[in-house]
Structure 1
Amino acid sequence: MPTLSGVTPAPGHDWRNPSTWHLRTRLVLVAMALLVTICGAVGVFSYVSMDSFLTHQLDEQLGAAAHRSNEFGRPDSGSPGGRPDPLEAKGQGIGTLNAREQNGRIASAGFLAGDATRKSLSADDNAVLLGLTPNAAPVDRTLSAGAYRLIATQTQYGDIIVTGLPLEEKQNTLGSLVGTLAAVSAGGLVLIGLIGTALIRRTMEPLEKLSEVATKVSRLPLDAGEVALGVRVPASAAHPGTEVGSVGHALNQMLDNVSNALQARQESEMKVRQFVADASHELRTPLTAIRGYTELMRMTEHFTPDGEKSLARVQSQSERMTALVEDLLLLARLDEGQPLKMADVDLTQLAVETVSDEKVMAPDRSWKLDLPEEPVVVRGDTTALHQVLANLLSNARKHTDPGTTVVTRVMRSADGSAVVSVTDDGAGIAPEFLGKVFARFARADASRANPAERAGARGAAGAGAGPGAIATATAVQGTSGLGLSIVQSIVAAHGGTVEVSSRPGRTEFAVRLPAAPPA
């Protein structure tokens, strides 16, 4: 069967698994299989009918030839001296075989060749003739001269007359019939295959439009932000009067529902963001007042040792609250897409300065630098990129034990992008938190976390754990839980990506910034 356009499955499909084939491929193959079955049935029926007709016709001719041979062999046939040879009978056609059997042996036998001369038979042929049953139905036998239709008739004088006609003409006719049927069937299969493929492809166009719409929707970033879900199934493929049209109409209704839900989600998200921004802005004033009055009381009033501890606690919590408010305001500005202050930033110098600050804050850890010989300069916001690196180093400091080695590496990749990575050899991030480390506010009560959970909660400061999740590192260390979220937001604003990989003994955060800044 020739290859038909549109029948071959797409690359990657397994021919051995029909469930992976396209629907149009299966429809074409089913139609072709049915057509082959019909052609085969018609061919077999035609062959059997023609064979039966030709056999019946040949048997009539054989009966007439046998009658002439028997009549010619009668004693009153005019031949003196006994019964003549049936082969001498008049009216016999070319190829006709005649033989006389007497006393269990062939007395005379031969056939008329194409030149009207008599040809004798071989000993093997005589043995075949002797094996015929007298007065039985004609049978087919293969002789040295070819295939023959034979009949043996016992005369009233005791001898047996064998008459035969060649099967060559019948076989040639059947061969021509088979060839004609094969040629017609093959041509019909090709023609029907091509026409059927074209018709099926045209019929399947509405389904392809549905698939195209579904594929476009699947590629839209529906998880966050404002989403314009303007893709719909065309009216020609969404008519509810047909099966495919009903599917297209239902898909459009589903897309309308999803679009309304996304719009409602976006409005709710914007309200929450605006509330967080407004609340954070309003909280700055009372927090500043609390810190100011705390400093004033420490300078002007005298307290007992317990009072000093309480006042110090108030001051530390107000500072922590101030840091949380500043983080919330930063995230709100990033969510609103406020423009960055773009400039040339030397990442190698930035890494040196940030690591030096961490060395002062945590001298009990081993801080190492891996820098290239040439400076790695990118376009970005210096302050924002400094906060990215500071947050990553702070995350490594807060969630590792003393003696941990932290390596900061800056390099230029083959595609021209800049890569900054922070790697430590600490205990690693628990697998259940690894996919959530960049989410916001994963807080849990440290008093309910056992020591094993505290050890496994490294990185939970940025994890988006739900109710009941153990994100103890944030609570234990007193962080806001927004550090890694800020890192991801700032890097995304620069058109870059941040990835994390972790196993016991190695945790790495890698920031990749593009060679060219985002528009």
Structure 2
Amino acid sequence: MNSSFASAPRLRTILTAILVGMLGVACLIIGLSSFLTIKNSLESQVSERLDQTSHRAMIFKPEDAPVRNGGAGGADGANAEGAQNVCETSASSSPLNAPGQSAGTLTVCVNNGNVGFSGVLDSSGDLQSLSEADVAQLKDVPAEATAQKVDLEVGNYLVEAHALPNQPQTVVVTGIPLKDMNNTLATLVAVMAGGSLAVMVIAGLLGSWIIRRTMRPLERVSAVAAGVAQADLESQVLSRAYRVQPRDSNPRSEVGAVGFALNQMLGNVQSALQAREKTENQMRAFIADASHELRTPLAAIKGYSDLLRWTENLSDSGEQSVNRIESQTARMSRLVEDLLLLARLDEGKQPVFEAVDLSEMLAESTFDMQVAAPNHRWTLNIPDDPVEVRGDRNQLQQVISNLLSNARKHTAEGTHVTASLGFAEGGFAEVRISDNGEGIDSEFIDKIFDRFTRADVARSGDAGTTGLGLPIVRAIVEAHGGSIDVQSRPGETVFKVLLPLA
């Protein structure tokens, strides 16, 4: 499989990711909207509480102060000037002692830039002192301004400052803690984040299961298409197994429309394959019949040329003409015999099997070729022990002769041709015919075993060929249960034949 395809995500993975992603965006929008709404509501409540707390501090009279730890309440500790001099009173009669002031409330009284009182109520309602840093920060809060958040050592606070009605030089700073609001918002964020994550995980698992079930028809259609893509259409037709099932080929649904269209296409392909097979069978029958019928006139031509040679006193030109007739008749006869052999092999006729010694056959064929082509260098490599296979002696002889002749015809003089025989794994005999010629063109090597394909344009040599030698070799080898392979590059071409051992 192509690496770029192998790394591509599956459609159901993409759909599940889109589902989870859209749900995540929805959860984010809802969560953010809820958070902002609740935050604004809490801030409004805190601001309202601060206004009430500040109002109680502003109208506080020392004689109304309840008794708190850390100071006496009531009029005993009151200053004669009442609320107008609250910043000059004792801690026990400070605005923090006003009725209704809650735990965590702080107050700082500033008179003409000087701090008259500062303190904060703890969780028990007791008055505690503020640090100098907190007092200094609160002292600078502007009067009559909007409430503002400050980060103090005692915590995060919302504070505001107001001047006393009749004493503008006296400013009371009041603050309430934001801890409860912050904790509520933090809890809200944690709950919404955890809930959203749980919803996304559940939706992802459930969505993946639903999408997987929904995608099964498409996967079945894809399996049919993959089976057709892997089928060898050269040697087989498309059976009913290569069809989309009726449940997946209903054109009313999207997937069914794809399955229906695929079935239509496969039907057309099947019809084309059947038409091709019929045409090929007719062509084979025609070639077989024509070749058989050509035997008689070719025999007559050969006979009359022999008779003419024996009975007539031929001139030199006449002798040359008769020789030409005989050579062309012999060439035509070989072509007819090759066509008849291919026709018999195409019909599936089994060879006549007998024990054949490949060592002897290869040696004799190589010696004959050495005599016929002395300008080539021939080398024979065979084992000492006989290498026997079961097959048709004449057909196997034709395999070896064709391969050796092919090496002679398509290589230049002086080429080194090596014929080797040995044993291969799996119980096979291996015949190798190699040469160091120019090699076979890469564009031609894929069709070298096709019928009527000439190799003259791919390799050197000027001997004419019919284009049937190598197709006959492959047909014979495959009829014997073997295989043939070729590998070629400039300077080396190797034909390897594997045949089952006897």
**Normalised by the size of structure 2, how large is the TM-score?**
0.89
1:423-454: CA deviation from partner (whole Å, max 9, x where unpaired): 1111222333222221111369xxxxxxxxx6
1:488 to 452, 474, 477: 474
Counterpart residue type for residue 171 of structure 2:
I
User: Is residue 50 from structure 1 mapped to residue 50 from structure 2 by the alignment?
Assistant: no
Determine the structure 1 residue equivalent to 2:319: 308
Aligned length: 479
User: Is residue 511 from structure 1 mapped to residue 489 from structure 2 by the alignment?
Assistant: no
Give ranges in structure 1 of 5+ residues lacking alignment. 1-9, 445-453, 460-472
Counterpart residue type for residue 80 of structure 1:
N
User: Is residue 330 from structure 1 mapped to residue 341 from structure 2 by the alignment?
Assistant: yes
1:464-508: CA deviation from partner (whole Å, max 9, x where unpaired): xxxxxxxxx6xx423322101111212222333322222222222
Aligned-pair distance for 1:92? 1.4
Aligned-pair distance for 1:130? 2.1
1:342-394: CA deviation from partner (whole Å, max 9, x where unpaired): 34444333322221221121122111123345544444333322221211110
Counterpart residue type for residue 480 of structure 2:
H
Distance 1:443 1:503, change over 3 A: closer
Aligned counterparts, 1:347-358, within 5 A: 347-358=358-369
1:40-65: CA deviation from partner (whole Å, max 9, x where unpaired): 11111111111111111111111111
Distance 1:51 1:399, change over 3 A: same
1:263 to 274, 277, 283: 274
1:477 to 463, 466, 471: 463
Determine the structure 2 residue equivalent to 1:146: 155
What SS class does the counterpart of residue 232 from structure 1 fall into?
coil
Aligned partners of 2:431, 2:134: CA distance in 1, in Å? 98
Give ranges in structure 2 of 5+ residues lacking alignment. 66-74
Distance 1:117 1:223, change over 3 A: same
1:187 to 198, 222, 225: 198
Aligned-pair distance for 1:80? 2.3
Aligned partners of 1:133, 1:239: CA distance in 2, in Å? 78
User: Is residue 32 from structure 1 mapped to residue 43 from structure 2 by the alignment?
Assistant: no
Distance 1:236 1:226, change over 3 A: closer
Distance 1:148 1:14, change over 3 A: farther
Q: Is the 8 A contact 1:13 1:21 kept in 2?
A: no
Distance 1:392 1:44, change over 3 A: same
1:90-136: CA deviation from partner (whole Å, max 9, x where unpaired): 32111111111122233221211123322212222122212312122
Q: Is the 8 A contact 2:353 2:391 kept in 1?
A: yes
Determine the structure 1 residue equivalent to 2:128: 119
Aligned partners of 2:39, 2:251: CA distance in 1, in Å? 55
Determine the structure 2 residue equivalent to 1:80: 79
Q: Is the 8 A contact 2:221 2:244 kept in 1?
A: yes
Distance 1:350 1:97, change over 3 A: farther
Q: Is the 8 A contact 2:62 2:79 kept in 1?
A: no
Aligned partners of 2:236, 2:340: CA distance in 1, in Å? 18
Determine the structure 1 residue equivalent to 2:110: 101
Counterpart residue type for residue 500 of structure 1:
V
Choose 239-248 or 407-416, whichever is displaced more. 407-416
User: Is residue 359 from structure 1 mapped to residue 370 from structure 2 by the alignment?
Assistant: yes
Aligned partners of 1:149, 1:378: CA distance in 2, in Å? 103
Aligned partners of 1:323, 1:228: CA distance in 2, in Å? 39
Choose 58-67 or 351-360, whichever is displaced more. 351-360
Determine the structure 1 residue equivalent to 2:69: none
Aligned-pair distance for 1:39? 0.7
Determine the structure 1 residue equivalent to 2:441: 430
Distance 1:73 1:256, change over 3 A: same
Aligned partners of 1:301, 1:410: CA distance in 2, in Å? 50
What SS class does the counterpart of residue 59 from structure 2 fall into?
helix
Determine the structure 2 residue equivalent to 1:449: none
Q: Is the 8 A contact 2:64 2:98 kept in 1?
A: no
Aligned-pair distance for 1:148? 1.0
Distance 1:129 1:514, change over 3 A: farther
Determine the structure 2 residue equivalent to 1:254: 265
Q: Is the 8 A contact 2:454 2:465 kept in 1?
A: no
Q: CA RMSD in A?
A: 2.4
What SS class does the counterpart of residue 477 from structure 1 fall into?
coil
Aligned partners of 1:51, 1:514: CA distance in 2, in Å? 86
Aligned-pair distance for 1:25? 1.3
What SS class does the counterpart of residue 369 from structure 1 fall into?
strand
Q: Is the 8 A contact 2:357 2:387 kept in 1?
A: yes
Counterpart residue type for residue 499 of structure 1:
D
What SS class does the counterpart of residue 159 from structure 1 fall into?
strand
Distance 1:187 1:410, change over 3 A: same
Q: Is the 8 A contact 1:324 1:480 kept in 2?
A: yes
Distance 1:13 1:130, change over 3 A: farther
Aligned partners of 1:134, 1:494: CA distance in 2, in Å? 109
Q: Is the 8 A contact 1:213 1:231 kept in 2?
A: yes
Determine the structure 2 residue equivalent to 1:447: none
Aligned partners of 1:276, 1:368: CA distance in 2, in Å? 38
Aligned partners of 2:468, 2:453: CA distance in 1, in Å? 9
Distance 1:13 1:182, change over 3 A: farther
Aligned counterparts, 1:218-229, within 5 A: 218-224=229-235, 228=239
Distance 1:159 1:76, change over 3 A: farther
Aligned partners of 2:315, 2:139: CA distance in 1, in Å? 140
Counterpart residue type for residue 274 of structure 1:
A
User: Is residue 90 from structure 1 mapped to residue 99 from structure 2 by the alignment?
Assistant: yes
What SS class does the counterpart of residue 103 from structure 2 fall into?
coil
Which protein shows a greater Rg? Answer: 2
